[in-house]
Amino acid sequence: MDRDALPFPLAAGYATLAMNGAKGGATKYLCLQYLNYARWTSQQFSCNLPRSLQIMTSLHLKSNGRWTPLGFLKFWRPAVTLLNETVHWGIKVPLAMAFYQELRGLGPHGGLAVATAMSTAGEVVLTGWSERFGVHMGLNQITSYRDSFKIAREARGNALSGAWAGAGGLWVRNFSWNLTFFEWKRLLHNAVDKTPANAPQWFQTHLDWLRSLEKKNQANVLTFEAATLGTYLTFFNMAGDNIKTKMQVNPQRYPSFRSTAYEIWSQHGLLGFTRGSLFKGIYLILGSTLAIGIQERLTEIMAALLR
């Protein structure tokens, strides 16, 4: 076993891995988008969990004092978010692996950091515009892509800045999570392969349990654990996400990364950067486990069929 490699199946090639990641991203959107919307709402208003739920209920589940349960479907609007999730999770793993393969000479950690920085930049270029449309149109209940783009373009001064509003925060969010997730994923897979020296007894017991699982189930559990650690141990993941969402939902008020970060700090302190973290944590942990789990399982199945 190559202990420095990223532990994802590649026998069927990068294209197959990307295709299956896209399937996982689409499934993630269909199953969990309501959690994503709740996270956006909490970040938009810099409020806690009960308040964000109250806002969502009053805006979408009530009309003229009467309950409108079908308003729940509005959380999945606009449909461009489906494209965003599909492309995002389709390229996340294969792009990082491809860059890392070329940069391993920088070392297992340095090479991975540089490769992740580059692959994250690729994610932002390919999905930053669709992320902006999703947040801006979803939270402001705008139905026209033309109108949404016009508002952002006029607020930011030009078409490129308007389309990719919040790109800086998106990069900070994705890079910090991607790097932490990949490092934990590799570390945990290596630990299953060979128990680290001086590992505590509880960890050895856990590793023994993991070894008793089928490989596909073992990979899914390790993905869940790496996602959990990567999500809740990465402050910049939460902070970048808050800055990104505010810049996208209200480009007139939040025209730049720096001014947005300053306003969050001055009005809400350090806590302001963590708003929506409970929703985001649940969404990201469940979503990444679902998306990457589908990606790993389907790729293994397809690789077996090609043997």
Q: Which of 9-23, 171-185, 227-241, 265-279: highest mean pLDDT?
A: 171-185
Tens-digit pLDDT profile for residues 8-44: 998 778 999 999 999 999 999 999 999 999 999 999 9
Tens-digit pLDDT profile for residues 77-103: 999 999 999 999 999 999 999 999 999
Query: CA 7 to CA 88: how far, in whole Å?
Result: 19
Which pTM value belongs to this model? Answer: 0.93
Tens-digit pLDDT profile for residues 100-152: 999 999 999 999 999 999 999 999 999 999 999 999 999 999 999 999 999 99
In the chain the domains, ranked by start, together with CATH numbers, are 14-306 (1.50.40.10)
CA-to-CA separations, 71 to 32, 46, 57, in angstroms, rounded:
16, 23, 9
Query: CA 276 to CA 109: how far, in whole Å?
Result: 30
Mean pLDDT, rounded, for 295-301: 91
For the cut 70, the answer to whether the pLDDT of residue 187 exceeds it is: yes
pLDDT of residue 307: 66
SS3 state at 157: coil
pLDDT of residue 123: 98
Alpha helices per DSSP H over 63-104: 80-103
Query: CA 247 to CA 261: how far, in whole Å?
Result: 10
Peptide bond into 78 cis (omega under 30): yes
